[in-house]
Chains A and B, each alone.
Chain A
Amino acid sequence: VPPELPALATLVAIIANAALALPKQQPGSISARLRDTTRGERHYLFGPPLVMGLLSTHLGVRVLQLLLVETVRGWELGVLVEPAAWLAEFLGEGRRREREREWQQSKSGLLWRYLKGEIGEAELRRRLHRQGHMLPPPPPPTATVASKEEFSIPRLRLDPLRPVGMIPMRPMEVILPEPPAPGGSPRQLKSIPAVPPADGLPVLQIQLLGRIRIVTGGEDLGPQLLHRPVQAFTFLYPLAREVRRPGDQMTRADWGAECFAGQDPEQQRRGVSNRLSHLRRHAPYLGERIISEGEYVSFDGRGCEIDVVRVFEIAQAVKQAGANLSDEQYQAALRAQEQASEEFMPGWDGIVQRAGGGRSGVGEVIAEVRSQLVAARSGILSTLAGVALSRRQLDEAICYLEYAVRARPDRGDLARRLADAYQRDGQLQRAAQLRKEYGLSEGA
């Protein structure tokens, strides 16, 4: 053995020890990284292992796999830091999972799940309410204001309404489905029976409450349409008339007079024709819904699922059924009253303004539908209150009646029922106050 060999071996061993033991990548930041990793602020001390995949279930093979995967990391971190990194990553993963579980029940998590479509609005409201949070109320519908002006009745001094979440209701299904995945077929909702497709026309699912969505073939045409106010007006105005009165027709002259006031009749007719042809050219799926038969123009509602029409249908069915609601009808009524609280055609005034204006007749159509909605909701709530009273659920009945009276303060009969309900519930002061405001006698 050469005499220099031991010394050389010592040198090699010392260098190898240092190379193996010491961290080689940003050693100054390791303690902070370890802290962040343990807290779950980051997944790995540095980067992830180079190969990520399925590990064998056999321990020996798994060790070899890890040896290959972790060699580079082990070299970078050093033998002493590497186990600490593993431990920190393991603890961090646990912390992250724990935090995720908590987040899913937090307000952020619930909203996130709602926006992702994992839970419905009723479920969201119920859970937020349970946690003491409140969703902001929807903007007040214009119809409410109009109807309050119309009905000159004494101003109510009721306590603030309890949130909708307090009304015991099952999760609400949105009437309009989310667009299906590409290639998939549109999801059929339980709450709306299948609408037979019209000849040669695609099925349109139209949401006009809360927001405007027009879904066909899984695509929402609403945003594009609303981006072009003239086209939006040309499509939505006949649609609103159809909703107000099914089968409604208007003459081109009337439409022209509404939209092109101040111009001569020929220009008005030309303007209407231009708008119609413009819509048919740029949005054929929507344009073909506007039927033009000589002088008359109307909306073809065949094969259309329109949420507000559905609400009216439910209101009618509920009214006929009275207190003998089936469970299915009861659920449908709950959903419908919640939908009816949303604004009909939000943003309509802006569309009219940008589309070149319209005279009072245009606004009247919308206001009329909104008033119909208020009446429909009030009717549904009244029936629901009747059902709750027949089941001796006074608390729910009061809740429904309070909403109903708020929606239609002109309805003395509702106020009387609410006062009676207060009385039966032992809220004598409230009952007396309400009777006084409405001039009701106790025995009436």
Chain B
Amino acid sequence: MPRADQIRKLATLRQPWIWLLLVVTGSIGLIAATAWSRTDWVYRLATVQEPALAILFGLLAIRIGGLVMRALLVRELPVIAAEEPHLAHTEGALGLRAPRILTLINLEPGSGATTLSFNLAVSLAVLGGKTGSKATAEPIRPACLLAEGRLTAALGLDPPLLNDQVASGGWQMAAGVADLAVHHPSGCALFGFQPGCQAGAAVGPLLAELIRNYDVVVIDGGIAAERQLTSLAQSSDLVLLIGRAAPASVAALQRWTAWSVGPGLGMTYALIVNRLRAGVRLPLELLSALTPLTLLPEEPQVAEQDMTGLPWSLDQRLAASRRLAAVVRQFLGHEGEGDECAA
């Protein structure tokens, strides 16, 4: 009896005898089915139906032969928790290169702007220094402003510290703001901020200070109160609207698009649909309002890693991570370079 490791050794379709075996098994099945269909009982029963029966038996033979092949080529099937969604490659074109201030805004609560901000900043830091297969000497230094929550706690950020600094400093904010950053090993600087507080009004000076110290600033829109979101968006080079395949996101997106076509609002924005599950259809209204920049699947590892403060964007085994990396490459003007591994 073959051992499991011996069986796994067979698991390669590059061996020609496997293909030969497949063809022989199928042929024998077809011949047997045809011969069987010529026996008296079946022949009397189905004189004129012989081709249909032969095809039926042939199909059954293919199925059985296929199962035998599957059994021969057995391997350790990867275990996944649930069916993966089928995500079309709908990457919209972004008419903007190298945005310096990026704001991610939730279209509905829980869409994932905070985790996406953090992971986008990490991805920018990691991929930023690369152009093709050559590494530049100067990596991109992103800063990321995160709303206080579980992720900031997991990352060890101290949002009240920055709030106090911002609230007390105003436009005279000292250059010491950059000293409050928690430096992530990927190279991005992390700041925590308490959402909806009075200091939110002083985000403008804070941005000016950050952009002076860093190459890119990624902002989680959750740091601003509802009424401050529009001014925050206008301060940004690019607004990424984070939505889900749900009616609430559709309504919010329609409000944003209606607002952004107003006079004097030259805002550049794009849509990311996050946490897509298998079997859930994208609302047509969402697609008709804005072509999504990317679609990100719901993956259990993402939530687990957010709890521990690990940036899932580094884990290229995840589909969400690969798709986010494609977006980052688009920001950096590295499209078509393939993933980092391939590069």
B44-59, CB under 8 A of A: which get 1 and which 0?
A: 1111110011011001
The listed residue (B47, B74, B316) touching A55 by CB distance below 8 A is B74
Are B46 and A10 in contact (CB-based, < 8 A)? yes
- Determine if B342 is an interface residue (Cβ-Cβ < 8 Å): yes
Smallest CB gap from A62: residue in B: B71
Stretch in B160-168, B236-244, B263-271 touching the partner: B160-168
CB-nearest residue of chain B to A47: B83
- Segment with Cβ contacts to B, from A126-134, A169-177, A385-393, A425-433: A126-134
26 A-B contact pairs sorted by A residue (CB < 8 Å): A6-B46, A13-B49, A13-B53, A13-B55, A47-B278, A58-B1, A59-B68, A63-B68, A66-B70, A79-B62, A79-B63, A79-B66, A82-B66, A90-B75, A108-B340, A111-B185, A115-B185, A115-B310, A131-B135, A133-B139, A134-B129, A134-B139, A136-B183, A229-B160, A350-B180, A353-B165
Question: Whole-angstrom distance from the CB of B12 to the nearest CB of chain A?
Answer: 8
| B246 close to chain A: CB less than 8 A | no
- Asked if A5 is at the interface of the complex by the 8 Å CB criterion, the answer is yes
Given contacts A107-B340, A114-B185, contact A48 B73 (CB under 8 A): no
Binary flags per residue of A224-260, CB closer than 8 Å to B gives 1, else 0: 0011010000000000000000000000000000000
Top 5 nearest A-B pairs by Cβ distance?
A47-B83, A102-B341, A13-B52, A132-B135, A10-B49
> Given contacts A17-B55, A62-B74, A66-B71, is CB(A103)–CB(B317) below 8 Å?
yes
Q: Does B204 contact A (CB under 8 A)?
A: no
B325 to chain A, nearest CB (A): 8
How many angstroms from the CA of A354 to the CA of B159 in the assembled complex? 12
Answer yes or no: B175 CB below 8 A from chain A CBs. Answer: no
Q: Which of A59-86 contact B (CB under 8 A)?
A: 59, 62-63, 66-67, 70, 74, 79-80, 82-83, 86
Give the contact stretch, choosing among A36-44, A151-159, A266-274, A312-320: A36-44
Q: A350 to nearest B CB, angstroms? A: 5
Q: A79-B62, A354-B164 are in contact. Are A6 and B48 (CB under 8 A)?
A: yes
- Per-residue CB proximity of A1-26 to B under 8 Å, as 1/0? 10001100110011011001100001
| B86-A57 in contact (CB<8A) | no
Q: Is the CB of A112 within 8 A of B183?
A: no
Given contacts A9-B46, A49-B77, A103-B316, 6 further A-B contacts (CB under 8 A): A9-B45, A48-B80, A52-B79, A74-B63, A354-B161, A354-B164
Residues in A with CB closer than 8 Å to B74 are 55, 62, 66
Query: A106 contacts B340, CB within 8 Å?
Result: yes
Pair B341/A99 contact, Cβ less than 8 Å? yes
* A133 to chain B: closest residue by CB: B135
Task: Pick out which of these stretches binds chain A: B2-10, B106-114, B219-227, B287-295.
Answer: B2-10
B141 within 8 Å of A by Cβ? Answer: yes
Interface string of B184-226 (1 = CB under 8 A from A): 0111000000000000000000000000000000000000000
Query: Hey, which chain A residues are within 8 Å of B341, CB to CB?
Result: 99, 102-103, 106, 109
CB-CB contacts of B313-329 with A at 8 A, as 1s and 0s?
A: 11111010010000000
Q: Is B82 an interface residue, CB under 8 A from the partner?
A: yes
Contact with A along B10-24 (1 / 0, CB 8 A): 010100000000000
Partner of A32, one of B11, B47, B88, B164: B88
User: Does residue B84 face the partner (Cβ distance < 8 Å to A)?
Assistant: yes
A10-B46, A350-B165 are contacts. A82–B52 as well, Cβ < 8 Å? no
Chain B interface residues (CB < 8 Å from chain A): 1-4, 7, 11, 13, 44-49, 52-53, 55-56, 59-60, 62-63, 66-75, 77-80, 82-84, 86, 88, 125-126, 129-130, 134-135, 137, 139, 141, 153, 156, 158, 160-161, 164-165, 176, 179-181, 183, 185-187, 278, 310-311, 313-317, 319, 322, 339-342
A interface SS class: helix
Central interface residue in B49, B187, B278, B342, by most chain A CB within 10 Å: B49
Q: How far is the CA of A96 from the CA of B75 in the complex (A)?
A: 14
| In contact, A13 and B56 (Cβ under 8 angstroms) | yes
User: In the bound complex, do residue A44 and residue B80 qualify as a contact, i.e. CB atoms below 8 Å apart?
Assistant: yes
- CB-CB under 8 A from B158, the residues of chain A are 226-227, 347, 350
* A354 lies within 8 A of B45 (CB): no
Residue in B closest to A58 when the chains form the complex, CB atoms: B1
Expressed in whole angstroms, the Cα–Cα distance for A103 and B340 within the complex equals 8
